Amino acid sequence: DIVMTQSPRFLPVIPGEPASISCRSSQSLLHSSGRNYVDWYLQKSGQSPQLLIYLGSNRASGVADRFSGSGSGTDFTLKISRVEAEDVGVYYCMQLLHPPWTFGQGTKVEI
Amino acid sequence: EVLLVESGGGLVQPGRSLRLSCYASGFSLGDYTVHWVRQAPGKGLEWIGFIRRKDRGETAEYAASAKGRITISRDDSKSSAHLQLSNLQIEDTAMYHCVRGGTTSGYSGLDQWGRGTLITVSS
Protein backbone atom coordinates (compact mmCIF):
# COMPACT_ATOMS: atom_id res chain seq x y z
CA ASP A 1 0.00 0.00 0.00
CA ILE A 2 1.13 3.55 -0.65
CA VAL A 3 2.02 5.34 2.58
CA MET A 4 1.23 9.04 2.88
CA THR A 5 3.28 10.96 5.43
CA GLN A 6 2.20 14.43 6.50
CA SER A 7 4.21 17.07 8.30
CA PRO A 8 3.91 18.75 10.62
CA ARG A 9 1.34 16.82 12.62
CA PHE A 10 0.42 19.94 14.55
CA LEU A 11 0.53 23.43 13.09
CA PRO A 12 -0.13 26.56 15.15
CA VAL A 13 -1.10 29.42 12.87
CA ILE A 14 -1.65 33.16 13.09
CA PRO A 15 -4.65 34.74 11.34
CA GLY A 16 -3.54 36.69 8.30
CA GLU A 17 -0.29 34.78 8.01
CA PRO A 18 0.48 32.03 5.47
CA ALA A 19 0.64 28.35 6.37
CA SER A 20 1.65 25.19 4.58
CA ILE A 21 1.36 21.45 5.08
CA SER A 22 3.59 18.86 3.45
CA CYS A 23 2.57 15.41 2.27
CA ARG A 24 5.03 12.82 1.01
CA SER A 25 4.05 9.57 -0.67
CA SER A 26 5.99 6.29 -0.69
CA GLN A 27 5.49 6.00 -4.45
CA SER A 28 5.09 8.49 -7.23
CA LEU A 29 1.52 9.71 -7.67
CA LEU A 30 2.14 11.09 -11.14
CA HIS A 31 -0.29 9.47 -13.55
CA SER A 32 0.45 8.96 -17.23
CA SER A 33 -2.07 11.73 -17.89
CA GLY A 34 0.30 14.19 -16.28
CA ARG A 35 -1.94 14.66 -13.29
CA ASN A 36 -0.92 13.91 -9.74
CA TYR A 37 -3.42 11.68 -8.02
CA VAL A 38 -3.57 13.39 -4.64
CA ASP A 39 -6.41 15.20 -2.90
CA TRP A 40 -6.61 17.38 0.19
CA TYR A 41 -9.45 17.37 2.73
CA LEU A 42 -10.30 19.41 5.80
CA GLN A 43 -12.24 18.04 8.71
CA LYS A 44 -13.56 20.69 11.04
CA SER A 45 -14.47 19.75 14.57
CA GLY A 46 -17.64 17.68 14.73
CA GLN A 47 -18.08 17.69 10.95
CA SER A 48 -17.55 15.33 8.06
CA PRO A 49 -14.46 15.96 5.94
CA GLN A 50 -14.76 18.39 3.06
CA LEU A 51 -12.87 18.42 -0.21
CA LEU A 52 -10.41 21.25 -0.74
CA ILE A 53 -8.12 20.23 -3.60
CA TYR A 54 -8.34 17.35 -6.06
CA LEU A 55 -5.78 15.88 -8.44
CA GLY A 56 -2.95 17.84 -6.95
CA SER A 57 -3.88 21.42 -7.69
CA ASN A 58 -7.54 21.76 -8.60
CA ARG A 59 -9.55 23.78 -6.12
CA ALA A 60 -12.96 22.25 -5.40
CA SER A 61 -16.12 24.18 -6.04
CA GLY A 62 -16.78 26.78 -3.38
CA VAL A 63 -13.30 26.56 -1.83
CA ALA A 64 -11.68 29.89 -1.06
CA ASP A 65 -8.84 30.87 -3.37
CA ARG A 66 -6.48 31.26 -0.40
CA PHE A 67 -6.12 27.46 -0.57
CA SER A 68 -3.77 26.03 -3.16
CA GLY A 69 -2.19 22.66 -3.85
CA SER A 70 1.13 22.02 -5.52
CA GLY A 71 3.80 19.41 -6.00
CA SER A 72 4.48 16.41 -8.18
CA GLY A 73 5.67 12.84 -7.92
CA THR A 74 6.08 12.14 -4.23
CA ASP A 75 6.09 15.59 -2.62
CA PHE A 76 3.01 17.72 -2.25
CA THR A 77 2.07 20.88 -0.41
CA LEU A 78 -1.15 22.52 0.66
CA LYS A 79 -0.79 26.25 1.17
CA ILE A 80 -3.07 28.75 2.83
CA SER A 81 -2.08 32.22 1.69
CA ARG A 82 -3.68 34.03 4.63
CA VAL A 83 -5.12 31.93 7.41
CA GLU A 84 -8.57 32.74 8.68
CA ALA A 85 -10.09 31.59 11.97
CA GLU A 86 -12.47 29.25 10.13
CA ASP A 87 -9.53 27.29 8.68
CA VAL A 88 -8.86 25.41 11.92
CA GLY A 89 -9.29 21.68 11.86
CA VAL A 90 -7.48 18.57 10.68
CA TYR A 91 -6.13 18.46 7.15
CA TYR A 92 -5.60 15.18 5.29
CA CYS A 93 -3.91 14.33 2.05
CA MET A 94 -5.09 11.23 0.19
CA GLN A 95 -3.68 9.30 -2.74
CA LEU A 96 -5.94 7.73 -5.31
CA LEU A 97 -3.49 6.37 -7.85
CA HIS A 98 -3.51 2.76 -6.63
CA PRO A 99 -6.12 0.96 -4.56
CA PRO A 100 -6.30 0.91 -1.66
CA TRP A 101 -6.57 4.67 -1.57
CA THR A 102 -4.76 5.91 1.50
CA PHE A 103 -4.84 9.00 3.69
CA GLY A 104 -2.09 10.75 5.53
CA GLN A 105 -2.23 10.77 9.34
CA GLY A 106 -3.59 14.30 9.40
CA THR A 107 -2.29 17.73 10.39
CA LYS A 108 -4.10 19.60 13.12
CA VAL A 109 -4.22 23.33 12.49
CA GLU A 110 -5.01 25.60 15.39
CA ILE A 111 -4.96 29.34 15.97
CA GLU B 1 -29.88 19.83 -2.03
CA VAL B 2 -27.27 17.12 -2.54
CA LEU B 3 -27.32 14.70 0.37
CA LEU B 4 -25.92 11.35 1.39
CA VAL B 5 -27.50 9.79 4.46
CA GLU B 6 -26.14 6.67 6.11
CA SER B 7 -28.03 4.30 8.35
CA GLY B 8 -27.72 0.89 9.94
CA GLY B 9 -25.04 1.50 12.55
CA GLY B 10 -25.35 0.52 16.16
CA LEU B 11 -23.95 -1.59 18.96
CA VAL B 12 -22.96 -5.07 17.86
CA GLN B 13 -21.13 -7.97 19.46
CA PRO B 14 -17.78 -9.20 18.13
CA GLY B 15 -18.17 -11.76 15.38
CA ARG B 16 -21.56 -10.49 14.24
CA SER B 17 -22.45 -8.86 10.93
CA LEU B 18 -24.01 -5.56 10.01
CA ARG B 19 -25.29 -3.94 6.84
CA LEU B 20 -25.01 -0.21 6.39
CA SER B 21 -27.04 1.74 3.87
CA CYS B 22 -26.43 5.02 2.13
CA TYR B 23 -29.24 6.93 0.46
CA ALA B 24 -28.60 9.71 -2.00
CA SER B 25 -30.81 12.63 -2.88
CA GLY B 26 -30.43 15.71 -5.02
CA PHE B 27 -28.43 13.93 -7.71
CA SER B 28 -28.31 10.68 -9.66
CA LEU B 29 -26.24 8.22 -7.64
CA GLY B 30 -25.83 6.03 -10.71
CA ASP B 31 -23.60 8.65 -12.29
CA TYR B 32 -21.01 8.32 -9.51
CA THR B 33 -18.69 5.88 -7.84
CA VAL B 34 -19.48 5.38 -4.17
CA HIS B 35 -16.82 5.13 -1.51
CA TRP B 36 -16.86 4.18 2.16
CA VAL B 37 -14.46 5.86 4.57
CA ARG B 38 -14.33 5.17 8.28
CA GLN B 39 -12.93 7.01 11.26
CA ALA B 40 -12.26 5.32 14.59
CA PRO B 41 -12.87 7.53 17.64
CA GLY B 42 -10.13 10.12 17.91
CA LYS B 43 -8.29 8.69 14.90
CA GLY B 44 -7.72 9.63 11.29
CA LEU B 45 -9.55 8.72 8.10
CA GLU B 46 -9.37 5.24 6.62
CA TRP B 47 -10.58 4.45 3.12
CA ILE B 48 -12.13 1.00 3.14
CA GLY B 49 -13.52 0.56 -0.36
CA PHE B 50 -15.52 1.76 -3.30
CA ILE B 51 -17.85 0.50 -6.01
CA ARG B 52 -17.65 1.58 -9.61
CA ARG B 53 -20.58 2.76 -11.71
CA LYS B 54 -22.71 0.36 -13.71
CA ASP B 55 -21.00 1.40 -16.94
CA ARG B 56 -17.73 0.28 -15.33
CA GLY B 57 -19.13 -3.07 -14.29
CA GLU B 58 -20.13 -2.19 -10.70
CA THR B 59 -16.93 -3.82 -9.53
CA ALA B 60 -15.49 -2.98 -6.14
CA GLU B 61 -12.10 -2.46 -4.58
CA TYR B 62 -11.37 -2.96 -0.92
CA ALA B 63 -8.68 -2.07 1.57
CA ALA B 64 -6.61 -5.04 2.70
CA SER B 65 -7.63 -4.45 6.31
CA ALA B 66 -11.23 -5.19 5.40
CA LYS B 67 -10.93 -7.48 2.39
CA GLY B 68 -12.82 -10.69 2.85
CA ARG B 69 -15.02 -9.19 5.53
CA ILE B 70 -16.73 -6.43 3.61
CA THR B 71 -18.87 -6.22 0.49
CA ILE B 72 -19.99 -3.03 -1.15
CA SER B 73 -23.07 -3.08 -3.37
CA ARG B 74 -25.34 -0.56 -4.99
CA ASP B 75 -28.92 -0.25 -6.21
CA ASP B 76 -29.13 2.78 -8.44
CA SER B 77 -32.88 2.30 -8.92
CA LYS B 78 -33.21 3.12 -5.23
CA SER B 79 -30.39 5.69 -5.16
CA SER B 80 -28.66 3.60 -2.56
CA ALA B 81 -25.42 1.85 -1.74
CA HIS B 82 -24.66 -0.67 0.94
CA LEU B 83 -21.73 -1.84 3.01
CA GLN B 84 -21.95 -5.35 4.40
CA LEU B 85 -19.50 -6.04 7.22
CA SER B 86 -19.03 -9.51 8.65
CA ASN B 87 -17.12 -10.97 11.59
CA LEU B 88 -16.92 -7.55 13.20
CA GLN B 89 -14.02 -6.90 15.54
CA ILE B 90 -13.43 -4.35 18.29
CA GLU B 91 -11.16 -2.42 15.93
CA ASP B 92 -14.04 -1.96 13.48
CA THR B 93 -15.59 0.50 15.93
CA ALA B 94 -15.81 3.69 13.92
CA MET B 95 -17.96 6.25 12.18
CA TYR B 96 -18.64 5.02 8.66
CA HIS B 97 -19.08 7.64 5.94
CA CYS B 98 -20.58 7.17 2.51
CA VAL B 99 -18.82 9.41 0.00
CA ARG B 100 -19.48 10.41 -3.60
CA GLY B 101 -16.61 9.94 -6.02
CA GLY B 102 -15.91 10.18 -9.71
CA THR B 103 -18.53 10.64 -12.39
CA THR B 104 -18.95 9.83 -16.04
CA SER B 105 -17.35 13.22 -16.66
CA GLY B 106 -14.24 12.33 -14.73
CA TYR B 107 -12.87 12.61 -11.23
CA SER B 108 -13.25 15.81 -9.22
CA GLY B 109 -12.59 14.60 -5.71
CA LEU B 110 -14.61 12.92 -3.00
CA ASP B 111 -16.89 15.91 -3.07
CA GLN B 112 -19.90 14.91 -1.00
CA TRP B 113 -19.72 13.16 2.36
CA GLY B 114 -22.51 11.80 4.48
CA ARG B 115 -22.56 12.58 8.17
CA GLY B 116 -21.83 8.95 8.91
CA THR B 117 -23.28 6.12 10.94
CA LEU B 118 -21.52 4.83 14.05
CA ILE B 119 -20.70 1.17 14.59
CA THR B 120 -19.66 0.18 18.09
CA VAL B 121 -18.35 -3.35 18.46
CA SER B 122 -18.43 -4.51 22.05
CA SER B 123 -19.36 -7.55 24.07
DSSP per position, B54-88: GGGTT-EEE-TTTTTTEEEEEEGGGTEEEEEE-S-
Residues of chain A with a CB closer than 8 angstroms to some CB in chain B: 1, 39, 41, 43, 48-51, 53-55, 58, 60-61, 90, 92, 94, 96, 99-106
pLDDT band at B48; cut points 50, 70, 90? very high
- Which of B 67-96 lie inside 8 A of A, CB atoms? none
Query: Per-residue pLDDT for B67 more than 90?
Result: no
Identify which of A97, A27, A12 has the alpha carbon closest to the alpha carbon of residue B47. A97
How far, in Å, CA of B8 to CA of B77, rounded?
20
Half-sphere exposure (Cβ direction) of A65: Cα atoms closer than 13 Å: 0
φ, ψ for residue B96 (rounded to 5)?
A: -110, 120
List chain B residues with CB under 8 Å of A49.
37, 45, 97, 110, 113
Mean pLDDT of B83-106: 94
pLDDT band at B105; cut points 50, 70, 90? confident
CA A45 to chain B, closest CA, distance in angstroms equals: 11
What pLDDT sits at residue A38?
97
pLDDT band at A92; cut points 50, 70, 90? very high
Do the Cβ atoms of A49 and B116 come within 8 Å? no
pLDDT band at B80; cut points 50, 70, 90? very high
Interface mutation target, options B35, B72, B111, B115, chain A, most CBs of A under 10 Å: B111
Distance of CA B117 to the CA centre of its chain: 10
**How many CB atoms are closer than 10 A to CB A17?**
10
What pLDDT sits at residue A15?
96
What pLDDT sits at residue B16?
96
pLDDT one-digit tens code per residue, B24-38: 999 999 999 999 999
A17, B24, B78, B117 from B4: Cα distances, Å: 35, 5, 13, 11
Would you report the helix, strand and coil content of chain A in percent, each value rounded to 5? 5, 50, 50
List chain B residues with CB under 8 Å of A1.
64
Do the Cβ atoms of A60 and B108 come within 8 Å? yes
Q: Scanning every residue of chain A, which has its alpha carbon at the shortest distance from the alpha carbon of B51?
A: A99
pLDDT one-digit tens code per residue, A20-63: 999 999 999 999 999 999 999 999 999 999 999 999 999 999 99
Mean pLDDT of A92-109: 95
How far, in Å, CA of B79 to CA of B30, rounded?
7
How far, in Å, CA of A39 to CA of A60, rounded?
10
Mean pLDDT of B11-23: 97
Query: Per-residue pLDDT for B121 more than 90?
Result: yes
Beta bridge partners, B113, equal B99
B6, B14, B16, B18, B120 from B93: Cα distances, Å: 16, 10, 13, 12, 5
